[in-house]
Amino acid sequence: MTAAPVFAVVGHPNKGKSSVVATLSQNDAIAIALEPGTTRQRQAYPLSVDGHTLYTLVDTPGFQRPRRVLEWLQAHSVSASDHAQTVQAFVTQHQGDGRFTDECELLTPLVDGAGIIYVVDGSVPYSAEHEAEMTILRWTGRPSLALINSIGRDDYSDTWQAALGQFFQVVRKFDAVRAPFEQHLGLLRAFGQLEPDWEAPLEQATDFLSDQRLKRRGQSAAIIARALEDLMAYQEKRTLTQNQSAGTSDDSLAEQLRQRWYRHQRQREQSLRIDIEHLYQHQRIQRQEAELEWHNEHDLFSEDSRRAWSVSKRYLATAGFGAGAVGGAGLDALTLGHSLGAGALVGGLIGAAGSYFYGDRLMLPALHIGALQDGLKTATFGPVQDSQFGYVVLGRAVDHWWHISQRNHAGRELLDLEPADHHWLEHLDRSSRQIIQQVFDKRRKRRPLDDRQRQKFITAIEQSMAAYDHWRLNRA
């Protein structure tokens, strides 16, 4: 079996090498800083899917004295046929030499057989230092490609293209922070064309990564579905003894339950965010978004959240008809079909009408404080009474998923989740709308889902994720 390819990411200090490694290895633990010399020792980062290592990226220090190294190589070489051996001799002779510590760290993986990914900053001019670096890399004889990763505002990429084309068979522009997924795969395919022994494992790697991307979307849908089930059905409950009840007013008890219910819902939504981030191997994201918010006892959500994430009355009417029709079908079953479908029709109309007028207001979760019986009093708050709660949570969750699924692991900027200016669920197919509404209705009544219903719910959420992805693509 062919060993997984190894690529050494090399170049000038502070030119985006670590950013490229972070993105291509899906590892946001890699240190990325503006000051030169952040990477002082080579470090290997394998990318694995389902326990199978697809390839390994080696982050290396930047060249410090390339012209001095090149002078040594030229002085110790007889002909082009010994260039690779001369580079190896340089590394062997200068191990432990403080003058060339970074060069030895950089060249060692190449001497050991790694491919070369040479990274340059297209926002700075080409120089003699760069030419010395590229000449040294060519002496190694290893398969190589060059990436122009512009960091600053200036653009010298045309000059870089011309210069790099004389040393490398493949030259690509690659923004490590913003490059789309297809560009990642394109780099792997390009390397497979440069090294025949790597063509098969890298083709397999692209297949694995593409399958992983599809699988992660389905797993995300399941995570969101489970959270929605929990959030829609959650009920805060407290039982007081007679002595406790005597010292606690009903108003005080209601406020305690209400605040605990709100806190639980916020925490459950945050755990949903973290589960999605970890699924995509984002462990260190700094995120900013408005919390689920209630202004007062008459307002379940802030008006900003409602406008951004709740759905229209027309949407609720369409979804409510389908959900109501499913419930009405029970009447047809009880009458052995003699109602001629009237049960489903009546149920659908009731569901549509209820959802339509229901959509204009947001109802608080139900508060119930029982009478004192057998020395005990039980009070409950929840579950939520309004399906719009579910749509707000769903909209926020899918928006967060989309940003995470598109985010490269080199990204270190704050993830600022702004509300959408249009609810994309309006474009969701009718069947998926009805399934989502039906589940919301069941869970706010604390009715459980069976496995078949849950799978249909997950599929409907995955369809909503696809609708959102399509909507974002059309906005771009």
Highest mean pLDDT, choosing among 208-212, 325-329, 345-349: 208-212
432 assigned to some structural domain: yes
Position 352 pLDDT exceeds 90: no
278 assigned to some structural domain: yes
Domain count, the chain: 2
Position 354 pLDDT exceeds 50: no
| 39-to-46, 89, 106, 173, 261 alpha-carbon distances in Å | 17, 24, 11, 23, 47
Last residue of a domain, one of 194, 229, 252: 194
Last residue of a domain, one of 194, 223, 256: 194
Q: Residues 179, 248: one domain?
A: no
Which has the minimum average pLDDT: 20-24, 277-281, 316-320, 446-450?
Answer: 316-320
Q: Residues 466, 390: one domain?
A: yes
Position 199 pLDDT exceeds 80: yes
Return the pLDDT at 335.
37
352 assigned to some structural domain: no
The mean predicted confidence, pLDDT, of the chain is: 84
Q: Residues 279, 392: one domain?
A: yes
57 assigned to some structural domain: yes
Return the pLDDT at 152.
81
Q: Residues 173, 271: one domain?
A: no
Q: Residues 179, 244: one domain?
A: no
Return the pLDDT at 340.
41
318 assigned to some structural domain: no
Which has the minimum average pLDDT: 33-42, 176-185, 272-281, 344-353?
Answer: 344-353
pLDDT, tens digit (0-9, with 9 covering 90-100), for 85-97? 999 999 999 999 9
Q: Residues 175, 222: one domain?
A: no
Q: Residues 163, 239: one domain?
A: no
Identify the domain containing residue 151 by its residue range: 6-194
344 assigned to some structural domain: no
Query: What pLDDT band is residue 77 in, cutting at 50, 70 and 90?
Result: very high
Which has the minimum average pLDDT: 92-96, 175-179, 205-209, 362-366?
Answer: 362-366
11 assigned to some structural domain: yes
pLDDT, tens digit (0-9, with 9 covering 90-100), for 136-155? 999 999 999 999 988 888 89
